[in-house]
Amino acid sequence: MMLRYALQTIRDRKGGFLGAFLALMCAAALITACGTLLETGLRGRIATERYAAAPLVVSADQNVHRTTVKHKGNGKTKVKHKAKPVAERAWLPADILDRVSALEGVGKAVPELTFMAQPMSSLPVSGRSASSQAASSRPVSGQSASSQAATSSRSTSGQAAGRGEGGARSEPRPLAEPHPRSEPRPLAHLSARPSYGHSWASAPLTPFRLVAGRAPSADDDVVIDRVLAGQNGLKPGDRLIVQSTRAPRPYRISGIAAPAGQRDLRQQTSLFFSSGEAERLAARPGRITALGVTPAPGTDLARLKQRVEQALKGTSAQVATGEDRGPVEFLDAAGARIKLVSMGGAMGGTSLLVAILVVVGTFALSIQQRHRELALLRAIAATPGQIRRLLGREALVVGAAAGVLGVLAGLPLADWLHGRFIDMGAIPVTLERTAGVFPACAALGVTLVGAWAAARISGRRIARIRPAEAMAESAVERGPARGRIVAGLVLLAGGAALVGVLSVLRTEAAATPVTFLAVVVSATAVSLLGPYLVRFASVLLAGPLRAAGAGGSLATANIRGNSARMASVVTPLTLLIGMTCTVLFVQPTLGDAARAQARDGVRATWVLAAQGPGVPSEAAGAVRGAPGVTAATEIVRTTVRVGLDKYQAQGVTQAGLARTWDPDVTSGSLTAFTHGHDTAAISELAANRLGLRPGSALRLHLGDGTPASLTVAAVYRRGLGFGDLTLPHDLLARHMDNPLAATVLVAGHGSRDELTAALQRFPGVSVLSSETADQVQADRQQENAAVNYLAMGLILAFTAIAVVNTLAMSVSERIREFAMLRLAGATRRQVLRMLRAEALSVLLISTALGSGIALAVLTAFSIGMTGGAAPSVLPLLYATVVGAAALLALAATALPGRLALRARPAETAMSRQ
C-alpha cells in the first residue's frame, strides 16, 4: 500500500523529486569514479612488455623493511613487519647470474641492464650515399637477437666497460661537432613514452629481432626499435644523438629491431647498445637490473620458482612470474598505485562527505516543501510509522533510479579521469584501469542508504509530532530542534579542533586530508546552525535591503520568516565558496613560501636548466672552465627513507657551495658539510622530528634502498625551499636512475654569451637568469597543482550542481506565494527584484561564511607548513570565485522565477488551495 502511494506521489510531484534525483545521481557518479580509481590503485594490472619471453624474472627487493617487537603484559610478544617502497630502482649483484644458471631446470638466464637513454636529435647520413650505407648493413633475414649477439649472456658482469668486439678499446667520445653538411635535426615525433637503454645481449627477453641492419658491435653503435625509426624516418647508417647518464653522444644506427611474434612495445622506447657501452652508461659496475629466466623444456614453472627462491634465500632478490613481472619492469607504475590509492581514497572520502551533506539538505528542502501535505496525512489518521515508511520508500525508489544512472555515468567518468591523470603525468600509462563491480555496487549501496537515511532524518519531526502541531507548523515556520543545535555546536567545535590540528602538521601528506575535512565539517556545522545564522545576517542586511525599495523589504521579510528555507540554500553555496577557495589557494600558499625561501637562499648569478632529462656533469665541468665563473653547483633531487618515513633530499657538489647557496644555517657549520664526504645538512623541521643536531648520526636508506650513515654537520632554516636533507652530490647520484643534475647554480661575473659558448656541445642545456629560473619553477608548480585541481574539480562541480539544484527547488515551490503577491498588487518586476535581492543576500551570507572557513583553514595550513600565518590569496582569482558563485545564484533564481510568474495569479492561487 505504502509503495503504491509512494510511486503515485513521485509521479504527481516530479518537480519536487527532480532535485533529489539529480543530487543522488551526481553523488553516485562521483563515488563510482573515485572508487574505480581506488580499485585501480589496489589491483590495477601492470602488463609486462620487455620481459614477455622470460616466464620468470629475478629482481631486487624494492622496499625498505622494519620489524618491531612489542612485549605485552601477559608475557607474549607481538611482531609487526612494515615495508615502504624506495624511490629509485634497486639493483642486483651480478653474481646472482651464476647461482641461478647452475640450478636444475634453468634453460637460459639472461641478465638485464635498464638505464635512461633519451634520443635527442638525429644526424642524417653524410660523407657517402645512403645506398652504400645500407649495403654495408644488410639485414639478415630471420636472424634472432640471441644468435646475433656476439657476447654470451654470462659476459655482462665480466666484460670490461667500453670494449667492442675483438677486445679493442674504444674510448667514449663526447658529443662531436656535426658534419658541416649534416646539421642536427630534432626528432619530429618524440613520444611521451619513457625511453630506456639496454644491452643487446638482453634482447632475447622480449624477444627483439632485427628487421634491418646488424647488431651493435662498436661502442658508438645503437639499435633502435621500429616505432622510433618509423615515427622519425630513421634508417641504418643515420646518426642519433642520445642523452643518457653521461654527456650526450652521437651513435650510428646499426640496426632496427622489433618484437618477434607480437606487436610493438606501446609503453616505452627501447635502444640497444653493445655490452661494454651499456655497462658504461648504466654506471653500476658488478650489478644488473634484473635476471630473466627461461625454464628448460619439460620443467614446471612453479617448481622452478621454488628452486630459485630457495637458492636466493637470504639475499634481497625476489622472484616474479605471470602478472607479477609487470611491476618489476615498470617501477613507476608500481609506485603510482600508492599515489592512486591515496588520491582515490581522498577524493572518495571527500566526495562521500560532500554527497551526504548535499543529499540530506536536498531531501530536507523537498520534505519541507511537502510539509502541508504530510501534515494533512497525519490529520486523516496516518500513523508516524506509515509516514516514515512512505518517506523511506519514496527515497528508495528515487535512490535506486538515480543510483543506476549515476553508476552508468560514473564508469566513463572514471575512464576520462584515468586518461587525464596519465596526460598530466600523475600516473603512468602502464597502470591499466580496473573496472570491477565493487565501486559500482558500493556507489549504488551508498546512494540507497544515503537517500533512505536522509529522508528519514529530514522527516523525523513531521512523523513524530501530533497532527495538530503538524498542521500548525505547515503554516508557520518553526525554529530548529534542540538536537540539531547541539549537533551543530559539536561540529563547529570539531571544525575548530581540526583547524587547530592543521596548524601543527608539518608535512603535506598529513595536512592535505585534514584541510578538506575541516572545510566539510565546518560547512556541515553551518547547515545545522543555518537558520540562526540567516536570522542574524538578516538583521545586518535589513538596512541595505530596505534602501532597495519594495523588493528589498519583501526580501527582508522572507529571509526572516523563512530562515530554514534560506539556510538550505546557504549551505551548498557556502561549501562551494569555501571548498573552491581552499583548493585554489592551498598550493600557492605552499609554493610561494618554498619559492621565497629558494630566492632568498640562491646566490648564483645564472642557472643551467635542461629541456631533456637533466644537465650532465660534463656540462657543469665545461661551465666551471668558462671565464669569470667562480663556482658551479650541481643539484640532484630524489627522496630517501629515514626509518620508514620519506624525506625530500637534494645532492649538491660541495666545492664552492657557499658562493651559490645559503640555506640559512642555524646551528653547525656549512663549512663542515662542504669538507666532509660522509656529512649531511638537515632542515630544522626534519631535525626536530628526528631528534638530531650537529654531530648526530643520520642513518637512512638512499633512493635505491642502499643504507648509509652520515654525520649531521649543519641544521638550516630554509627546508621548504631546499628540501629536508642535503647530501653530497656523488653519494646521492650514484643511487639514482637519473643522475643528471636538475639544475646547476653558477656564481661569478661570466656573461650569458660566454656560458652559452661553453655549452654548445650540450644540446638542450640553456642558461637562465635567477628570475627566469624562478618563473620556470612557478610554472612547474602550477602544472603539478593541476592534478589536485582536477581531482577536486569534480567535487566542486558536484557542489555547483547542488547549488543550482537547491536554488531552483527553493524558487519553484513558491509559485503560490508569487501569485498571492501579484494579487496583492505587486508587479512581475517587483517580484523578480525581490528574488534578486534574496539571491544577493544569500550570496553575501554564503560568501562571508565560506570565505571565513577558507581563511581559517588556509591560515592554519600556512602556520603548519611555512611557520607563518600568511596564506597566498590571489585577489583576482578570489573575485572570480565569488563572481562565478553570484552568476550561479542569480541564474538559478531568475530562470525558475520567470517560469513561475508566467501563470495567471488567480488560477495559480486557486489551484494551490
Q: For 795-817, what is each residue's pLDDT tens digit? A: 888 888 878 877 787 777 777 77
DSSP output for 356-379: HHHHHHHHHHHHHHTHHHHHHHHH
Measuring CA to CA, how many Å separate 641 from each of 66, 86, 688, 708? 11, 7, 16, 10
pLDDT digits (tens, 9 = 90+) for 565-578: 778 788 888 988 99
Better pLDDT: 151 or 361: 361
Question: Does residue 137 have a pLDDT over 80?
Answer: no
Q: Is the peptide bond before 119 cis (omega within 30 degrees of 0)?
A: no
For residues 648 and 640, give the distance between their C-alpha atoms in angstroms, rounded to a whole number.
7
- pLDDT range class, residue 264, cuts 50, 70, 90: confident
Q: Is the pLDDT of residue 98 over 60?
A: yes
Of the candidates 710, 709, 666, the one whose C-alpha atom is nearest the C-alpha of residue 688 is 666
Please tell me the least confidently modeled range out of 310-324, 450-464, 579-593, 660-674: 450-464
The vertex-429 CA angle with 424 and 430, nearest 5°, equals 150
691 Rama class: left (phi>0) / alpha (psi -120 to 50) / beta: left
User: Higher model confidence: residue 735 or residue 362?
Assistant: 735
Task: Give the three-class secondary structure for 804.
Answer: helix
Which of the two residues, 146 and 76, has the higher pLDDT score?
76
Residue 168 has pLDDT above 50, yes or no: no
544: its cell numbers: 541595505
pLDDT of 628 above 50: yes
Of the two residues 850 and 829, the one the predictor is more confident about is: 850
Phi/psi of residue 514, nearest 5 degrees: -65, -35
Going by pLDDT thresholds of 50, 70 and 90, the confidence category of residue 140 is very low
Please determine, for residue 190, whether its predicted confidence score (pLDDT) is greater than 60: no
Residue 873: closest CA among 564, 582, 631 = 582
d(CA 272, CA 259): 13
> What is the dihedral angle through the alpha carbons of 645, 648, 652, 656, rounded to the nearest 10 degrees?
-110
> What is the identity of the amino acid at 228?
L
The confidence score (pLDDT) of residue 461 equals 66
Which are the contacts of 821, defined by CB distance < 8 A and separation ≥ 6?
A: 554, 830, 831, 834
| CA-closest candidate to residue 724, choices 693, 658, 680, 666 | 680
Once rounded to an integer, what is the mean pLDDT over residues 496-512? 88
Contacts by 668-675 with C-beta closer than 8 Å and gap 24+? 668/693, 668/694, 668/695, 668/712, 668/713, 668/714, 668/715, 669/694, 669/713, 669/714, 670/713, 670/714, 672/713, 672/714, 673/713, 673/714, 673/726
Question: Quick one: cell of 265?
Answer: 612495445
> Is 50 exceeded by the pLDDT of residue 153?
no
CB 91 within 8 Å of CB 704: yes
pLDDT at 544: 76
Residue 133 pLDDT exceeds 50: no
Q: What is the pLDDT of residue 464?
A: 66
| Dist CA 273 CA 287 (whole Å) | 17
Q: How far apart are CA 679 and CA 727, in angstroms?
A: 7
Integer CA distances (angstroms), 299 to 206, 319, 370, in order: 20, 17, 74
Q: Cell numbers of 903, please?
A: 501563470
**In the structure, what pLDDT confidence band is assigned to residue 142 with cuts at 50, 70 and 90?**
very low
Predicted confidence (pLDDT) at residue 2 exceeds the cutoff of 70: no
Other beta carbons less than 10 A from residue 64's beta carbon: 22
Distance, CA of 383 to CA of 232 (rounded, Å): 78
**Which pLDDT tens digit goes with each residue over 4-57?**
666 666 666 666 677 778 888 888 898 899 889 888 988 888 889 999 999 999
204-232: average pLDDT = 94
Q: What is the DSSP letter of 597?
A: H
What mean pLDDT value characterizes the chain? Answer: 83
Q: Which residue has the higher pLDDT, 75 or 257?
A: 257
Greater model confidence, 760 or 775:
760
Retrieve residue 358's grid coordinates: 548535499
Looking at per-residue pLDDT, the higher value among 641 and 177 belongs to 641
- Residue 262 is predicted with a pLDDT of 72
Q: Which CA distances in Å does 486 have to 295, 328, 492, 528, 572? A: 70, 54, 10, 9, 21
Nearest-Å Rg of the Cα atoms of the chain is: 34
pLDDT at 151 over 60: no
Q: What is the mean pLDDT of the segment spanning 276-293?
A: 94
| CB proximity list for 496: less than 8 A, separation 6 or greater | none
Answer whether residue 237 shows pLDDT above 80.
yes
Give residue-wise pLDDT tens across range 409-457.
999 999 998 888 888 878 888 888 888 888 999 999 988 988 888 887 7
Q: Rounded to the nearest 10 degrees, what angle do helices 770-812 and 875-900 cross at?
A: 20
- What pLDDT, on a 0 to 100 scale, did the predictor assign at position 668? 93
Please report the pLDDT score of residue 633 as a whole number: 95
Q: How confident is the model at residue 472 (pLDDT cuts 50, 70, 90)?
A: low
Q: Where are the alpha helices (DSSP H) in 813-903?
A: 815-823, 828-866, 875-900
Q: Where are the beta strands (DSSP E) in 611-748?
A: 629-642, 645-652, 665-668, 679-683, 697-701, 707-716, 725-728, 743-748
Which pLDDT band holds residue 172 (cuts at 50, 70, 90)? very low
Q: Where in 717-840 does DSSP place strands (E)? A: 725-728, 743-748, 765-769
Per-residue model confidence as pLDDT tens digits over 761-795: 888 899 999 888 888 777 777 766 777 788 778 88
For residue 470, pLDDT beyond 80: no
